[in-house]
Amino acid sequence: MKLNKLFVAVSTLLVGTSVFAAQQPSSPQSAPTIHHEIKHEHGIPEVINKNVPQAQSVYKSIEKKDFHSRDESLLSNEMMALAACDVNSFATSNSTSLINMIKSQGASCVNELFSAASNIQQAAYSSDNMYAVANHVKGLSQSYTGGGDPDIEAIFLYLRAGYYVEFYNNNVDFISWVKPAVKGAIDAFVNNVHFYDDNDAHGKTLSEVIITMDSSEQQDVYLPVVKEWLSRWNQSYGGKWNMRSAVNGIFTILYRGQYNANFKTLVANDTTLISRLNSFTQQSWMINSDSEYLIANAARELGRMKKYSGAAIQSTVDSGLNTIFSTYQMYGNGDAVWLGAADTASYYGNCNDYNICDYGEQLEAQVLSQTYTCSPTIKIRSQNLTSVQQVSACTTMGAEETYFHNKMQSDNVPIPGDNNEQLQVNIFDSSSDYGKYGGPIFGINTNNGGMYLEGDPSVVGNIPNFVAYEASYAKPDHYVWNLEHEYVHYLDGRFDLFGNFNSPTEKVVWWAEGVAEYVANQDNNQAAIDTIHDGSTYTLSAIFETTYDGFDQDRIYRWGYLAVRFMFERHFSEVKAMLAETRTGNWTAYKTRLNTWSANYSNEFTQWTQTVKSDTGDDTNPPTNESPIAVINGPYIGDTITAINFSSNGSYDPDGIIASHTWDFGDGSVNNTANPSHTYSSVGQYVISLTLIDDKGATTTITTSADISGAVTPGNNLQNGVSVNVAGVQDSETFFIMEVPTDATDLSFDISGGSGDADLYVRFGSAPTTSTYDCRPWKGGNNETCIMADVQAGAYYVMIRGYNSFDTNLKGSFEGGSSDGNMPDACAVQGPQTGGQLQDGSEVCLGSGISWLTIGDVSSHSSIAITSGNGTGNLDLEFSNLGWPNGSNVQGASYKSGNSECIYLTNLSEYWGYIKVLGESDGASLVVDYDTAGCR
């Protein structure tokens, strides 16, 4: 039966393949804490999602990283196919001719039926055509031999597009006998011996069949198929892109089955389904793999089963949810699964049942733990920005604000009644993190390139939020994707458009997106010019009628930009008059003005676009290809046991894309990924080169160095006056490091006792070798001493080399010393804290008593130095890379009298570091420094 009314919301409850594919480091364990009673909260009302057939297809995919532009390298084959596509050929009442056209034109052309003109859809989708096509593909499915079939794929795409068209096109309505015919076609494919084959070509065809199960509203009929795939799914299937995409369709069936009455009756008693969902969510091999989005979707659908209150399945559902919440972390290992389950379980069930109430607020505090104030009007909250990025982002927004006000001639006067006095910029570490955490924290759909949330500017204290993520392909030095574009939305909302996002009663998308593109790109927007070249032109009146429906990015962004630029260049006085109307919310006058522009300027606009085209895109005199800009992020330092992470972040191509990366590590090894890791086997200094080639063949090469020393084994950190045992065979080399504070005296290192013959080498600042050292006693046996003259503050490296096999004791000792000299008094400018995440180089004021602190990304740095000082009392420090220090896992400690403590560690293997501060102190400061020669 056709629905008469449609309430559609973009679903945030199913995630796409690009969202959870990239591997992310785990978050730290929760610090030991006292548990408090959590208030129960049900959340916000749900937007009704009617049973709308899907229009999504891999043939029209836009890579998520580029919200505003297609990736031509990915879509070149598609564009070639579409260039030859004749969608009008489908508009026929001759079913045989239609079937032949579907086969000859292929799936990419059939996909155009989703957005074809109404009359073409009406002719292509008669009930007779649907019936004949379904019966034809039934025969093809019965004889399918596996390995994929483009004809079957295209025909099932035609069928599911038919249900989409029937839903939206009031002139298309299928007779009752169409659905059984479609079911017969699906059944023929399901019953084929190759239905559960495991290869990527098969997955491409399988995907269309599974989506058709859903689009034809037969979710109840194919529940057995859903259960079978849940049971069969394994790591072999998960290694194939199309198989992942196809099997992900079963979760769409479960999600939209909630609008199918018979499905709901069946599911309420189907404990087998729930058990298989439970088992699916415990296949931990999917965590941090390309299959992670499937296990996350399974967790969401398991949580959604709480909507069947009182049904027989509930105890099994609760068991599965509790297992998820105990197995995975809210922020860390398996967080995509944890958050997926929490989202639906807390909405349909009682969050107190699982102790997950207020998880969004807890997640927000952990993820966006960095804060940086640009100015009284802009504050940045971020997950992992460097200080350089923070300053760059602030500078960029400041410069753009000045340009905006000059361009608009706004006199910096906000719209009367607009109380948005400060913008909060929220920046996730990657698009994957944005996809995982943006929804739970901000309640938004994250299948986009960022979002501006204005709130209600009429409310005093309202804080608008810009939500974004870091990306290597964004503009340096801030690397925040869409920063420039989205910041204009804030300025436009505060100074140009009255009210909030929903206030305008006339269409303003052309202006809102166009002016954001214009201010962000100014006159340098080649992507907009290219839309004129490819022929996807729009009239001025059509641009003014633009909405977000169908999300035509060329129309919304490119042609919005062109219309705004045209009006600024040719009719700026009219723009100022329009802004006077939009600033007061006079939408009737605004609409009248646009109608006048359409009548008066349409021909001029068309001529202007041709001028822009000839000025910038004359194919007889093409512009010179610019070489890519290479950023190598060196020099690098490391040792012979730890992989060095090399980075090309910041590299970009000014007029295209980077097609290839080639790293030469200087030791005969090369790598062709953008950000590789490499381990050197020998000590020395190596010349590193990075060569970039763009999509038009231009090449850039840049070099740096890597200084590789002998490796200090994790945990080989000498403490003042503490003897350690060391043993080895002939020619073995074991390295240690000792951090010496400021003003230390009488520094010495000695080996003594044991058996065999070991040699002692000492060097300040870097590891000694057999030819480079500050002290080498040259004595036989195991009794050697180095007394260091001119003691320096920092790291002393010790090498014990076996002249013969040996077993002896090593000790480093010094007198006095203070680390307070380079320790600012953090307590003079901030309040005390006893928990949270520390940032490189940022001092914190310690609270009295025990504190639990974390450090992120320690494994990618050559060293960390933890320094404390100032204040009164006596504190001690313990550190572990293996979890919270508990006495048995401590890898570094400092127990000196007073508050001046130091722990210096190198070559740590895990992402998170954990610090425990013991004792009683008042007014003490603590800081962590990466990649230094020692403590402060």
Q: What is the CATH number of the domain that holds 466?
A: 3.40.30.160
- Report d(CA 658, CA 635) in Å as an integer: 22
10 Å Cβ neighbour count for 761? 26
> What DSSP designation does 228 have?
H
For residue 321, tell me if it sits in a domain: no
Residues 763 and 725 in one domain: yes
For every residue of 413-442, DSSP letters joined together read PPPTT-----EEEEEESSHHHHHHHHHHHH
Eight-class DSSP state of 819: S
- Which candidate, 588, 440, 408, 400, places its Cα nearest to that of 506? 588
Q: Is residue 126 located within the same domain as residue 102? A: yes
CA distance 580 to 497: 9
The answer to whether 273 touches 232, Cβ cutoff 8 Å, is no
Other C-beta atoms closer than 10 Å to the C-beta of 283 total: 16
Type of residue numbered 115: S
Indicate the residue type of 31: A
The DSSP letter of residue 613 is H
Cβ-count burial 900-925 (b if 16+ within 10 Å, e if not):
bbbbbbbbbebbbbbbbbbbebebbb
Question: pTM higher than 0.75 for the full model?
Answer: no
Nearest-10 crossing angle of helices 587-616, 572-582 = 150
pLDDT at 792: 87
CB 765 within 8 A of CB 757: no
Asked whether residue 299 is domain-assigned, the answer is: no
Q: Is residue 525 part of a domain?
A: yes
Tell whether 432 and 476 lie within a shared domain. yes
**3-state class (DSSP) for residue 647:** coil
Q: DSSP class of residue 305?
A: G
CA-CA distance, 269 to 310, in Å (whole number)?
10
The b/e string for 692-708 (b: 16+ C-beta within 10 A; e otherwise) is bbbbeebebebeeebeb
Same domain, 672 and 722: no
Q: Tell whether 640 and 492 lie within a shared domain.
A: no
3-state DSSP assignment of residue 463 = coil
Question: Residue 37 carries which DSSP code?
Answer: P
| Residue appearing with tokens 């079957």 | 152
Domain count along the chain: 6
Burial of 192 (0-12, 13-18, 19+ CB in 10 A): middle
Residue 590 φ then ψ, to 5°: -60, -45
| Beta carbons of 102 and 130 less than 8 angstroms apart | no
- One domain for residues 161 and 75: yes
How far is the first Cα of the chain from the last one, in angstroms, to the nearest whole number?
74
CA distance 503 to 454: 12
My answer on whether 407 and 485 are in the same domain is: yes
Are the CB atoms for 653 and 695 separated by under 8 Å? yes
Residue at token pair 């009682």: 350
Residues 372 and 470 placed together within one structural domain of the fold: yes
For the stretch 355-372, pLDDT in tens is 999 999 999 999 999 989
414 and 451 belong to one structural domain: yes
CATH number, residue 733: 2.60.120.380
User: Per the domain annotation, does 303 fall within a domain?
Assistant: no
The domain containing residue 583 runs over which residues?
A: 504-621
- Cis omega (within 30 of 0) for bond into 750: no
Query: How far is residue 612's CA from residue 863's CA, in Å, rounded to a whole number?
Result: 54
Supply the Cα-derived Rg of the chain in whole angstroms: 32
Question: Does an H or E element contain 609, and which?
Answer: helix 587-616
Q: Which of 783, 798, 818 is the last residue of a domain?
A: 818
- Examine residue 23 and state whether it is found in any structural domain, yes or no: no
- Rounded to an integer, what is the distance from CA 783 to the centroid of its chain? 56
Query: Is 306 contained in some domain?
Result: no
Mean pLDDT by 10 residues, the chain (936 residues): 26 28 28 25 26 42 27 38 77 95 95 91 96 97 97 97 94 96 98 96 97 96 98 95 95 94 96 97 93 95 96 96 96 94 95 94 92 89 91 88 88 87 93 92 88 88 92 85 91 88 87 94 87 81 89 89 94 94 94 95 91 51 72 79 78 76 91 87 84 86 81 70 90 86 88 93 87 89 91 88 93 76 72 79 84 84 89 87 81 83 86 87 90 82
Q: Is 7 exposed, middle or buried (0-12, 13-18, 19+ CB in 10 A)?
A: exposed
pLDDT at 755: 92
Question: Do residues 102 and 162 make contact, with C-beta atoms less than 8 angstroms apart?
Answer: no
> Where are the alpha helices (H) located in 786-915, listed in sequence order?
none
Length of the chain: 936
Domain boundary among 693, 709, 725: 709
Domain harbouring 678, CATH code: 2.60.40.10
Q: Which of 166, 292, 470, 486 is catalytic?
A: 486
Report the distance separating Cα 653 and Cα 615, nearest Å: 22
Burial 719-729 (b: 16+ CB within 10 A, else e): bbeebeebbbe
Query: Would you call 361 a catalytic residue per the annotation?
Result: no
Q: Are 328 and 12 in contact (CB under 8 A)?
A: no
414 is a domain residue: yes
CATH number, domain with residue 576: 1.10.390.20
- Asked if residue 460 belongs to a domain, the reply is yes
> How far is CA 554 from its chain centroid?
24
Residue closest to 347 by CA, chosen among 12, 10, 42: 42
780 contacts 694 by C-beta, under 8 angstroms: no
Tell me how far apart the alpha carbons of residues 574 and 544 are, in angstroms, rounded to a whole number: 15
Q: Are residues 752 and 617 in the same domain?
A: no
Buried/exposed code over 110-132 (b: 16+ C-beta within 10 A; e: otherwise): bbbbbebeeebbbbbbbbebbbb
DSSP 523-540: T--HHHHHHHHTT----H
Give the torsion sign (CA, 275, 279, 280, 281). Answer: positive
Residue from 47, 64, 65, 123 nearest 89 by CA: 123
Residues 206, 73, single domain; the answer is yes
Q: What is the pLDDT of residue 820?
A: 52
From 216, 235, 250, the end of a domain falls on 216
Same domain, 814 and 824: no
- The C-alpha atoms of residue 916 and residue 855 are separated, in whole angstroms, by 11
Q: What's the Cα-to-Cα distance from 741 to each of 758, 810, 902, rounded to whole Å?
A: 28, 20, 8
Tell me if 53 sits within 8 A of 215, measured CB to CB: yes
718: phi then psi, degrees, rounded to nearest 5? -75, 135
492 touches 420 (CB < 8 A) = no
